[in-house]
Structure 1
Amino acid sequence: MANSMATLSRRLYRSLLSNPTISQASMSFCTNNITSPEDSDFDELESPIEPKASDPVSRFSGEERVMEERPLENGLDSGIFKAILVGQVGQLPLQKKLKSGRTVTLFSVGTGGIRNNRRPLINEDPREYASRSAVQWHRVSVYPERLADLVLKNVEPGTVIYLEGNLETKIFTDPVTGLVRRIREVAIRRNGRVVFLGKAGDMQQPSSAELRGVGYY
C-alpha cells in the first residue's frame, strides 16, 4: 500500500512539472483575504467575485495567462478543509441565536471510524466495551437559512444523511467551567451539501455526556 501511494505521488509530481499550466493553476489556492476569527466563525462564505469582461487578464486569449502572485494567509496556504460524512442523525436539530443576530442549526451525526486500542481492565469484557464505543458523534452546523429550514422539517433521529461541509474549529469559553475549549465541527455553508438518503431503523439516542462532547448545551 505504501509503495503504491509513493508511486502515485511521484507520477502526480512529474505530471505537474511537465505541465506548466497545472502548476500555475495550483496557485489559486492561496488567498490575500485575511478575515477576522469572528467573521470566519459566523458569517457565510462569500460568493466568488466574477471577473469583469473589460479585464484583459480574465478574457480568454491565445496568449499565456498571467497569474497574479498572492500572499499567503498568515504565512500558510489555505489548503483544503472539506469533510464528507454519511451517517445517522442522533438528535432532533436545534437552533441557536448568535451574537450577530443570525441563527445556526445544530444536530449530531453518528458514524463509525473508532479504533479501540486501549487495554481492557481486569474485570472488563472487551466485546462489551467495543459495542459501547462503536459510534462517534460529529457536530454539524448549518448556516444558510433556507437549508436550515429544510433540515428542521426533514431531519429526525435515525435519518440517513449525506453531508459535505467545511471542517472547522470553534474556540469558545465553556459557560459552566469558564475554560477555553476547542470544538471541531462540520460547517454547512453556501458551498455545502445536505442529501437525505432515507430513514433507517431506530438508532440509540446519544447520552448527555456525548452531546456535551459535540458542543450541545
Structure 2
Amino acid sequence: MAGSVNKVTLIGNLGKDPEVRTTQSGMKIVNLAVATSETWNDKTSGERQERTEWHRVVIMNDRLADVAERFLKKGSKVYLEGKLQTRKWTDQSGQEKYTTEVMLGRIGAELVLLDRANASGGGDDMPRGNARAAGGYGGGQAAPRSGGWDAGKSGADLDDEIPF
C-alpha cells in the first residue's frame, strides 16, 4: 500500500452559531459544533430510537471561514469534508488533555450549505452552494448549488419537445 487516507465527510446541523476568532497574523479560525443523528427501531420494544453525535469542526481556510462567518447560524444544515486531527493541550490544573476535531484546512476541504430556505429568503449575496479548497493551490471557490436538473424552474419552463 502506497499511503493512507485521512478523510471525514459529515452532513449535519450546527448546534450553535459559529465561533470566529482572528489570529495575530490576521487569519480567521472558525469553530463549529455539528450534530449528526441516526435513528432506528428498537428490536425488543419496537420504539423509535435516536442517537446524536456531536463533532468539533475547525475551519482554518480563509475562504471557507468567510462563508461560515457570513452565512451559517445555529440550525444550519451543512455538508463538510475535512480530516481528523488530534491536538494536545494542558488545562488550568496542569493536566494534559487531547481533543480530536474535524479540520477544514487549506487543501482538500469542502463546505456546502444545504439550507434552501436561506437562499430564497433574502439577498443575492447568499451563496447557493459550496466553498471548496481542493487540489494543491489551497484556493477555494464559490459554486452554484446543484438542485437537480430542473432547479429553479417551474413546470411551464420545461421544453415540450422532449420525445419521452
Which interval holds the TM-score relative to the shorter structure? 0.5 to 0.7
Relative to 1, partners in 2 of residues 1:170 and 1:97: Cα closer, same or farther, differing over 3 Å?
A: farther
- 1:12-27 equivalent positions in 2, closer than 5 A: 27=2
CA offset digits 1:73-102 (Å, max 9, x no partner): xxxxxx111100000011111123457764
* Pairwise CA distance, 1:178: 2.4
Aligned to 2:5: 80
Quote the sequence identity (%).
29
CA contact (8 A) 1:114 1:136 kept: no
Which amino acid is 1:186 matched to?
V
CA contact (8 A) 2:27 2:62 kept: no
Larger radius of gyration between Structure 1 and Structure 2: 1
CA distance in 2, matches of 1:142, 1:167: 12
Aligned to 1:162: 79
SS, match of residue 95 in structure 1: strand
Aligned to 1:180: 96
CA offset digits 1:156-206 (Å, max 9, x no partner): 1111100000111111112x3321111111100121100011168xxxxxx
CA contact (8 A) 1:87 1:111 kept: yes
Relative to 1, partners in 2 of residues 1:106 and 1:199: Cα closer, same or farther, differing over 3 Å?
A: farther
Runs of at least 4 residues off by over 6 Å: none
| 1:135 and 2:52 aligned | yes
* Pairwise CA distance, 1:146: 1.7
- 1:141-160 equivalent positions in 2, closer than 5 A: 141-160=58-77
Aligned to 1:213: none
Which amino acid is 2:77 matched to?
V
TM-score, normalising length: structure 2: 0.58
CA distance in 1, matches of 2:8, 2:65: 18
Aligned to 1:61: none
1:192 alignment partner, one of 109, 115, 118:
109
More helix by share: 1
Which amino acid is 2:58 matched to?
S
CA contact (8 A) 2:20 2:28 kept: yes
CA contact (8 A) 1:92 1:156 kept: yes
CA contact (8 A) 1:88 1:158 kept: yes
- 1:1-217 equivalent positions in 2, closer than 5 A: 27=2, 29=3, 79-98=4-23, 102-112=27-37, 134-174=51-91, 176-189=92-105, 190-198=107-115
TM-score, normalising length: structure 1: 0.45
CA offset digits 1:13-32 (Å, max 9, x no partner): xxxxxxxxxxxxx53x3xxx
CA contact (8 A) 1:94 1:105 kept: yes
Matched residue count = 109
Gaps of 5+ in 2: 41-46, 118-164
More strand by share: 2
CA distance in 1, matches of 2:14, 2:93: 28
CA offset digits 1:27-50 (Å, max 9, x no partner): 3x3xxxxxxxxxxxxxxxxxxxxx
CA distance in 1, matches of 2:22, 2:35: 24
